[in-house]
A and B are shown apart, each in its own frame.
Chain A
């Protein structure tokens, strides 16, 4: 069973994304409400993938990603960014970070798992 960590400061996004991934793929879902907590959970639980919001207070997604990359225990975990920023300049900036993929908010709860699996290269 795949384990996915969702890091997002928005309660409803975490709830809907968790529901979506659990209901459509039966994956185990871990959650964190901020970047710092996400780094801790990732290091302790070593999930198979991380789905992370970009705009979060205190530590944003790109900064959290850099911290994850610095830790050998978490550097190999594929990270997919989740963003409501739709402008091309933002997308290029995020892609340049070296993340596994970028998904856009609002997401379709019925297809989120397929998009995530595709981004990290999991065979469906």
Chain B
């Protein structure tokens, strides 16, 4: 198994990419949380220009890397977040949908409850 993987660059690449994806989890989660925090602020009406700009840059970084690991849908959602966050006064209802979908795409088995997406979704529902 290992021998055939070494002879096949695609297979070796897939294994290494999977390992890199695991290694980079803390950073991905940190970036996702940073966007979620900005979305929470947008829902509260307290999103500052600086927060928005940082969240836009964070979404840009995710858009540029997720597809590399095979998450094409993740790149698409992060790019949509980047575009919306680039706008003055982004619509928080769109942002919450996008960030919820993004978390669901990357972590389909993890409940959103307890993280910023869960809180923001609850808040959006309450409005």
Contacts and interface: CB of A to CB of B under 8 A. Distances in A.
Interface of A: 10-13, 15-16, 19-20, 23-24, 55, 83-84, 86, 105-110
Contacts of B24: 11-12
A106 B61 contact: no
A82 B75 CA distance: 16
Contacts of A10: 61, 64-65
A102 B65 CA distance: 16
B65 A15 contact: no
Given A55-B60, A109-B17, A13 B12 contact: no
A15 B20 contact: yes
Contacts of B63: 84, 105-106
B75 A106 contact: yes
A81 B8 CA distance: 29
A35 B60 CA distance: 19
B102 to A, nearest CB: 14
B72 to A, nearest CB: 8
Interface in B29-75: 57, 60-61, 63-68, 72, 75
A12 B16 contact: no
B27 interface: yes
A106 B72 CA distance: 9
A13 B60 contact: no
Given A12-B68, A109-B68, 4 more contacts: A12-B24, A19-B16, A106-B64, A109-B13
Listed residue (A12, A13, A24, A107) with the most chain B CB atoms within 10 angstroms of its CB? A12
Pairs of residues from A and B, 4 with the lowest C-beta to C-beta distance, nearest first: A106-B67, A84-B64, A105-B64, A106-B68
A84 B59 CA distance: 11
A110 B13 CA distance: 8
B66 A12 contact: no
A15 B23 CA distance: 11
B68 A107 contact: yes
B112 to A, nearest CB: 24
B17 A16 contact: yes
Contacts of B61: 10, 84
Contacts of B10: 110
Given A10-B61, A106-B68, A109-B68, A23 B12 contact: yes
